[in-house]
Amino acid sequence: MAPVGRMLFCQISPLTYQISVQKGIFLRNLKDLFSHVHFAKNYSLRPLPYCCYSHRSLIRRRLQNVDLQLQENKAVNLSLAAPKVNGILIRPGETLSFWRAVGKPTRRRGYVEGMILRNGRVASGVGGGLCQMTNLLYWMTLHTPLTVTERWRHGYDVFPDSNRTQPFGSGATCFYNYMDLMVRNDTPDTWRLVLQVTDTHLEGEWRADGPQTCRYEVYEKEHEIRGEYWGGFTRHNTLFRRVLGMDGAELGEEFITENHAIMMYNPMLEETAP
C-alpha cells in the first residue's frame, strides 16, 4: 500500500510506461483467445418492459486543480462511447465486456484528450474520462442480480468527498483493454443496457424482459482512514448490499468487495477547511 520502496518498472520513464501498457494489452488478447466466455454482442432497439435500476451522474464536476477543458473533452468521449454500449443485450449465460463493446478509444475514431489518473496523479490521455461510464455501470449492476466477474478498484483516493452521494469505493476504473469491467448474466432473463449522454449527465438503466423478485441497497462498513508510517494516509472500507423483497422485507446481506486506496490529499486539512 505505501508509496515507498522500489520504483515500479512502469514508473521509470514514459518508455517503460508504454512497454507496460503494450504488455498488458498483449496478455489480455492472449487470455481472450483461449477464453470460453460467451460475450454479449447482440443489440436491440426494442426496450424491455421492466426497468430494474436507473442512475445518472453529472458529467462536468468542478475538481480542484483540474483543467475544465478536460471535463469538456470527457463529455465528447462519453458521447462517442455511449452508442457502442446502448441497447446491448445480455442473454442468460452471456457476459458483457465493456471494452469489447466500446472498442479502442483512438484519435482516428474521434476520441480526444480527457482526464486520466496515472499513479494517483491527474494526467491527460486520449479517451480519458470513460471510467465515469464504468463507474455508473458498476454501481447500477450492484443493484441487480447480475454478476460482476471483473472489476478494477481505484488504487488512489484523489479528490475529497465533495458532494459524494455514494459510498467510497463503489466505482470501477478502466484502461484499454486489460482493465475491463465484465458483467455476466446468471439469471433466466434477458437484460438490456440503456446508456445515453445528455447536455449535463450520463444516464443509464438496466432493463429485463421479466419481473424481478428482489431489490438491493448498497452500503459500506468498516470505513477507516489510517495515518501511515511514511507520513501519508490510506483509506479502507468494505461494501455490502442488503437484499430486499419487493414488499420491503429483508431477505439477507451479501458481501460485495473491500477497498484500499492511498489518499492523495490530507484528510485532516479537509476536515478543518472553512
* Nearest residue to 90 (alpha-carbon basis) of 173, 152, 182: 182
pLDDT in tens, 225-268: 999 999 999 999 999 999 999 999 999 999 999 999 999 888 88
pLDDT in tens, 108-120: 999 999 988 877 7
- Cell for 85? 454500449
Q: Which of the four pLDDT bands, split at 50, 70 and 90, describes residue 7? A: low
Amino acid residing at 206 = W
Quote the pLDDT of residue 20.
83
Per-residue pLDDT at 161 exceeds 90? no
Quote the pLDDT of residue 1.
46
* Nearest residue to 75 (alpha-carbon basis) of 52, 56, 98, 58: 58
Quote the pLDDT of residue 272.
46
Whole-prediction pTM: 0.92
R_g over Cα of the chain: 19
In the block, which residue shows the cell 475529497? 160
Quote the pLDDT of residue 274.
41
* Helix boundaries (H) for the chain: 14-33, 68-85, 98-102, 131-141, 267-272
- Does residue 144 or residue 34 have the better pLDDT? 144
Quote the pLDDT of residue 35.
85
Q: DSSP readout, 86-105?
A: TTBEE-TT-EEEHHHHH---
* β-pairing verdict for 191-197 and 89-90: antiparallel
* Nearest residue to 150 (alpha-carbon basis) of 186, 100, 103, 184: 184
pLDDT in tens, 60-113: 887 766 778 888 999 999 999 999 999 999 999 999 999 999 999 999 999 999
Quote the pLDDT of residue 8.
65
DSSP reduced 3-state for 7: coil
Distances (CA, A) of 168 to 192, 235, 238: 27, 9, 9
What is the layout of strands, in order, in the sheet containing 214-227? 156-157, 250-263, 233-245, 214-227
Quote the pLDDT of residue 151.
97
pLDDT in tens, 191-212: 999 999 999 999 999 999 999 9
Average pLDDT value over all residues in the chain: 90
Percent of the chain predicted with pLDDT > 90: 69
Q: Which of the four pLDDT bands, split at 50, 70 and 90, describes residue 10? A: low
In the block, which residue shows the cell 489518473? 117
Which residues have a Cβ under 8 Å from the Cβ of 122 and sit 6 or more positions away? Answer: 65, 66, 115, 116, 158
Quote the pLDDT of residue 31.
84
